[in-house]
Structures are given as structure tokens and as C-alpha cells.
Amino acid sequence: MTAVREALGADLRTVRVRRRRRDAVVLSVLALAVGCLGALALMFGARFTPPADVLDVLLGRPVPGASFAVGELRLPRTIGAILAGAAFGLGGTIFQTVLRNVLASPDVIGINSGASAAAIIALGVFGASGPVVAGSAIAGALLTAALVWFLAYQGGLSGIRFALVGIAVGAALQAIIGFVLTRSNVTQAQQAVVWMTGSLSRSLWDQLQPLAPVLAVLLLVALIAGRDLPVLRLGDDVAASLGVRVRRLKLVLILCAVVLVATATAVTGPIAFVAFLSGPIAMRITRHGQAVPAVAALIGAVIVLGADLIGQQLLSTAMPVGVVTGVLGAPYLLWLLMTGRTRA
């Protein structure tokens, strides 16, 4: 009897060790991928800059012909891509896990529409620019999230009701966006379309400086709070019996996720599919729940960096990152679906 128990214990331990090793490998490979893509993003632009020059610029030495392009254009763009990608990936995963519904990602439940509507009203009606637009996007996203939460909360939070209310609010906001688009002039309408598509062209130092530290701190907080996220997957009762304070944890996580997504949206605009897909991809790679939050954040960063490189370098006409993620992400999701690899 004791022998059996010992054998079982040993098995469990090997499984745990194997999982932890797999997590470590996945995390380091992804971190490496972020590093490589980031380096590529710094080297390639309108012109190629050799790695040595990039390094010099990063170390603060003036390099003629590269200081501006690398230091003032590509560096903030790359940092913005990494932070925003991680924020979308992590925020989306938190939503999907806490509400236990894949459809409950911020792009589906109207939070992106809220940010877009506020930004577009600022752009199209008040002719605002820069920080005002970013600020109204954050405010719009937070207000929408609060509204959806308030309207969907009924003695508890059901994922499907949350999603339905979110879709309804999102539809109303989309109509408002459409209305503003027809009542503003074509130039403003075009700016608005670019904004709604999600692009990194606004990710410059003056935009990033106030928002990047917020994103970094929030990412850390969300990752720490997200350690218990896998336990929530087991259901509220099981999580509670494992010593997790479910209600408080959910509230903290959702708050973090909303602010993360709102801030990232203020930098880049809503980028299609990053929030929606990062979590499911992370689940597939890790095959279990433990490392999912961190992996999802890294996957988000990889997607945004990679998609922006494709959009800027590989296409004949430069396209904003949101177009690339949509065109590539959606067929990927279809493929996952048809090969039966989504466990929704």
C-alpha cells in the first residue's frame, strides 16, 4: 500500500517537474523571440541600420544618420509594440478566464468599441489630437467596462450574460462611430479609420512617456495577481476550497485587465485579435494552466511585433498592424477550429 502511494507520489513529482521544465522552456523561447523581433524592428525601417549602429544608439552614443531613425522612431515604436501586445494578450486572457467564456474577450464585449467611440468623437467632433485622444480612449474604455459590468451584474456574474450585454453595448457604440464618421470631413474620417484599425505609428516618445510606466506596472501587478488565474479555471467552488478569495481576486483581475487594455488601446488603438487569440494559443503551447498568463503576455508581444514587421517591411504598401493581425489571425482561428484544436 505504502509502496503504491510512494510510486504515485513519485509520478506526480515527475509530472510536476516536467511541467515546470516545459514552462521554463516555453517562457525562455518566447522571451528570445520577443528579443529577436525587437532587434529586427530596430534594424529595419525605411533604411537598414547595422546592428552595431543600433547598439551605439541604445547606449546613447550619437550616430549620424541613425540616431533619429532608431532612437526617436523605431525604439518607441518597438517598446510600444511589446508593451501593448503584452497588455492585450494578458488582459484578454484574464477576461476569458474570469468570465469562463472565450467570447468574453475585450474586443468582443465592447470595451474596444468604447475606446474607439470616445477617441473618434474626440477626433471627429472636437478636432482633438495626441494626448486628448489617448485620454478620451482610456476614459471611454473604462466607462464602457463599468457600464457593461453594472448592467450585467445580477447577484453574480455570468459569462454569457456579460458577453451579451457587452455585444449590445458594443453595437450601440459602433452605430455612434458610424454616425460620427459620416458627419465629419473625409480627412478626419480617414484618421478615425486608421485609429480604429490599430497602428503603432502614434507610438512615439511623447505618447509613450506617460503611458509606458503605467503599462509596465500594471503588467507586473496583473502577472502577480494572475498566479491564481489557473485555479479559477477549475470553477468558483473548487477555487474557494483551495483557499482563493474568489470574489476579491476576480475584481482585482478584471480591474487590472480593463485598465491594461484601455491604456494599451490609448497607445495603439484596438489591434484585432491579439486579446482574443493570445490566451487560447498560450493554452495550446503550455498544455496546462500554470504559466498561461505570462505566456499569453509574451505571445501578445510576439504577435504585435511580428505583425508590425510584416505590415511595414513585407507589404508593398505599408499597412497598420491591425490589418495584418486581422488578416492573419482570423484564418489561424478558422484553422484551429477546423482541426479541432480549440477547447472552448
Partner 1 sequence: MLVLAVGLSLAVGTRPVPLAEVVHALTRPDPSSIAEAAVRSRIPTTIAGLLVGAALGMGGALMQGMARNPLADPGLLGVNSGASLFVVLGMAFFGLSAPLQFVWLALAGAAIAMLLGYGAATASPSGATPITLALAGASVTAIASSIISGILIVNTTTLNSFRYWQLGSLTAASPAALVQLSGFLAVGAVIALVAMPWLNALALGDDAARSLGVRVGMTRALSTLATVLLCGTAAALVGPIAFVGLAVPHAVRVLAGTDYRWIVPLSALGGAAFLLVCDVVGRLLTRPSTLEVGIVTAVAGAPVFIALLRWRRTVGV
Rule CB under 8 A: which residues touch partner 1? 102-103, 108, 151-152, 154, 158, 160-161, 163-165, 167-169, 171-172, 174-176, 178-179, 181-182, 186, 189-190, 193-194, 196-197, 272-273, 276, 317, 319-320, 322-327, 329-331, 333-334, 337-340, 342, 344
Radius of gyration of the chain (CA): 21
Nearer to partner 1, 2 or 185 (CB): 185
Closest approach of partner 1 to the CB of residue 40, in Å: 23
Q: Residues 86, 300: contact at Cβ < 8 Å?
A: yes
* One-letter amino acid for residue 100 of the chain: R
Nearer to partner 1, 17 or 160 (CB): 160
Q: Count other C-beta atoms under 10 Å from residue 302's C-beta.
A: 25
**Nearest distance, CB of residue 148 and partner 1, angstroms:** 9
Minimum CB separation of residue 195 from partner 1 in Å reads: 10
Contacts of 186 (CB under 8 A, 6+ apart): none
35 vs 127, beta carbon nearer partner 1: 127
Shortest distance in whole angstroms from residue 274 CB to partner 1: 11
Query: Is 193 or 242 the residue whose CB approaches partner 1 more closely?
Result: 193
> Judged by CB, which is closer to partner 1: 169, or 283?
169
Provide the minimum distance between the beta carbon of 21 and partner 1 in the complex, in angstroms, as a whole number: 31
- Kindly state the smallest distance separating residue 191's Cβ from partner 1, in Å: 10
User: Min. distance of Cβ 58 from partner 1 in angstroms?
Assistant: 32
Nearer to partner 1, 4 or 344 (CB): 344
Between 2 and 182, CB nearer to partner 1: 182
Q: How far is the CB of 299 from partner 1 (least distance, A)?
A: 17
Q: Which grid cell sits at 99?
A: 468570465
Q: Which is nearer to partner 1, 2 or 339 (CB)?
A: 339
